[in-house]
Amino acid sequence: MPMIYQPRIGEDELFAAQLELLMQNGRVASMSSNCIAALAMVALLWPYFGLLPLLLWASLVLLLLLLRSLHMSNALAGHSYQREPRRLFWRLVFGALLTGGVWSATYIAVAPHIPPTLQYVLLLIIVMITTISLAVMVVVREYFLAFLFASLFPIAWWSLVHLWEQPHNLLVGAVLLGVCALLLVVSNWIHSSFRSMIALSWEREAMARELGELTGSLRDRNRQLKAARRQLTDLANIDELTGLGNRRLVNHVLRQEINRARRSHGELSVILIDVDHFKLYNDTYGHPAGDEVLRRLGDILTRTTSRAGEVAGRYGGEEFILILPGADADIARRTAESLAELVREAAIPHRSSATSDRVTVSQGVFTAAPDGDLEPINLIDAADAALYQAKAEGRNRIVTA
């Protein structure tokens, strides 16, 4: 059995899994936060710029977000993250750059025309969007960094460059650069955690698949072993030529039935059958024809054993045996007569026989009520003695011991 090992995810599979996770989780969360922020900007700025320009700006922002969301949906549906991950990666980064650039450009454009307090509110909105995006974008670190440096970094430098225009621009620029540095460090740490989580999840799924396949393989192997065991049992107990039980099975069944009859104080009958002049038949018609006769007799014996528990077997060569649990001497005699009749009806030609021009059988019948000393060999010997007498009296007859 092969050893179970925990495979490690390859870099390509890990990168594709990162892209898939980013689009599944980031598409709704980041787009929703950007939409809310755009509506908040409209609500805050319309007294200063009028409603129509702001609605036009918001429409363009929403269109950009919609296009990005549609692109991610198509990439997920088409499994582009598996087929062309690098190309998809650069498209996503470009979208993040474009969205972040919209926020920084909007702030830089409106900041000189609004009060400082409102500037800080707008800046807080942009910082909140970036912070919220950290949770869902950082699974692909470059994607988050593109948004971070496109949205906050230009505002930080613009504030430093215009430090004389507003009393707090120097502080705002310095704080924003510190925020960028902090988010950069945090994003590296979270990104590493995400990669480890994805790798561990993939490895667990791979192990679960392997265990499932191994379980299925073991289940199949068990079925095969059971089938092989049944086949071996059949080979050990079934005569290959006739399909009847062989001597091993006959002895086993006899012992069981003797014990059962002993416990129930019932009777047990055995019929030993021999094909008359079978050696002459083989000499005349050939061994293949003789085998066919034995097969046909096997079928006849199977039809004769109609009661539950009755067993027909080939005891050796041209000798057959019937085990009749619960059958008294009369029932056993009738069974033997029925068998002889079926053999006559088969009308198998036998021109070399001194008894008949058809194949006939001699039968020895023995019935006993088993006691503590009776063994299977005793039943066989008694039936064989009756069979020997039937053959001595001219064959094609039934003798009851």
pLDDT at residue number 6? 47
Same domain, 164 and 57: yes
Residue 311, domain member (yes or no): yes
- pLDDT for 368 equals 92
Tokens of 14: 């890990």
Amino acid at 370: P
Q: How far apart are CA 318 and CA 326, in angstroms?
A: 26
Catalytic residue among 205, 292, 318, 393: 318
Residue 223 belongs to a domain = no
User: Residue 202's pLDDT band (boundaries 50, 70, 90)?
Assistant: low
Is the predicted pLDDT of residue 247 greater than 60, yes or no?
yes
Q: Same structural domain for residues 105 and 185? A: yes
Under 8 Å between Cβ of 322 and 312: yes
Domain boundaries, position 296 = 247-400
The number of folded domains in the chain is 2
Q: Is residue 201 part of a domain?
A: yes
pLDDT score at 206: 66
**Lookup: tokens for 263:** 């416990």
- 292 is a catalytic site residue: no
Residue 390 has pLDDT above 80, yes or no: yes
How sure is the predictor about 226, in pLDDT bands with cuts at 50, 70 and 90?
confident
**Which of 158, 182, 210 finishes a domain?**
210
Q: Which two tokens stand for residue 189?
A: 């740490």
Do residue 256 and residue 142 come from a single domain?
no
Residues 252 and 375 in one domain: yes
Is residue 325 included in any domain, yes or no? yes
Residue after which a domain boundary falls, among 159, 183, 210? 210
318 pLDDT band, cuts 50/70/90, is very high
Say whether both 86 and 179 belong to one domain. yes
Note whether 273 and 127 are same-domain residues.
no
**Least confident residue range of 52-66, 154-168, 196-210, 343-357:** 196-210
Q: Are residues 51 and 186 in the same domain?
A: yes
The domain that holds 318 is classified in CATH as: 3.30.70.270
Assigned token pair, 67? 């296009």
For residues 130 and 275, state if they share a domain: no
Residues 254 and 206 in one domain: no
**Which of 1-5, 137-141, 390-394 is most confident?**
390-394
Clarify whether residues 97 and 189 are in a common domain.
Answer: yes
**Which residues fall within 8 angstroms of residue 385, CB to CB, at 6 or more apart?**
364, 401
Contact at 8 Å (CB) between 362 and 385? Answer: no
pTM for the full predicted model: 0.50
Q: Quick one: pLDDT at residue 34? A: 85
Structure tokens at 71: 């692109």
For residues 295 and 181, state if they share a domain: no
CA-angle at 80, arms to 74 and 86, nearest 5°: 125
pLDDT band at 243 (very low <50, low <70, confident <90, very high): confident
Same domain flag for 272 and 326: yes
Assess if residue 3 is contained within a domain: no
Q: Closest by alpha carbon to 92, among 152, 136, 16, 144?
A: 144
Give the dihedral sign, CA 5/6/11/15: positive
Give me the mean pLDDT over the 61-81 stretch.
Answer: 87
Average pLDDT over residues 139-147: 82
Instruction: Report residue 340's pLDDT band, with 50, 70 and 90 as the boundaries.
Output: very high
Residue 379 lies in a domain: yes
pLDDT over 90, % of the chain? 31
What pLDDT shows up at residue 33?
Answer: 83
The residue among 164, 188, 210 that closes a domain is: 210
Q: Is residue 186 a part of any domain in this protein?
A: yes
Domain annotation covers residue 115? yes
